[in-house]
Amino acid sequence: QASKECVKIDELQAAASRVIAELTGAEAGYVSCGAASGLMLGTAACIAGHDVRRMERLPDTTGMPNEMIMAKDQRCGYDHAIRAAGAEIVEVGLCDYLNGSMRPVETWEFEAAINERTAGIALILYVSDPKKERQLQEVTSMAHQHGIPVLVDAAASVPPLENFKKFIALGADLVVYSGGKAI
């Protein structure tokens, strides 16, 4: 049936955006090719904002703020999606040998890494838990004082469906979900 219909993709995305906004409480939504794609597009948005000249140049970020701050214990293979947009990852946190593992990265450590080259902060929730949600809430309220957006990778956080609303409510600027995970 779809093969017989013609639709303008930007009109379809605009309609999808309205549905996603209603489901999530976000201002808008976008259907991407998956969470990895969402991370790349979200990072591009952090770097370019509404500036079409910047969009056009990506992934060349010469002269643009392009640093994405990430916690050391949240680095993973999906970093690549963030770097693909032209970002440079700035890692914070300490791998504490004396404690036998990482201690959780604290809000002041994210804050200390903010400078004029910062494009955003990326938090990788993967599967959400109360500790990460507390970190999200603290980090977003700090980041917003500096005018810095927070991109959240919540790839495997749905189901439960309530997580479509939760991270936006906790202050996230952009949340990425995977539609393929459960399949």
The contact set with ligand PLP (CB under 6 A) reads: 34-36, 78, 124, 126, 153, 155-156, 178, 180-181
Nearest residue to ligand PLP on Cβ basis? 34
Cα(2)–Cα(4) distance, integer angstroms? 5
Cα(156)–Cα(150) distance, integer angstroms? 18
Cα(93)–Cα(18) distance, integer angstroms? 38
Q: Contact at 8 Å (CB) between 158 and 177?
A: yes
Smallest separation (angstroms) from ligand PLP to the CB of 159? 15
CA distances from 102 to 31, 93, 114, 115 (A): 35, 8, 21, 25
Smallest separation (angstroms) from ligand PLP to the CB of 152? 10
Residue nearer to ligand PLP on the CB measure, 54 or 166: 166
Smallest separation (angstroms) from ligand PLP to the CB of 37? 6
Residue (of 23, 22, 43) closest to 32 by Cα position: 43
Residue nearer to ligand PLP on the CB measure, 26 or 154: 154
Smallest separation (angstroms) from ligand PLP to the CB of 90? 19
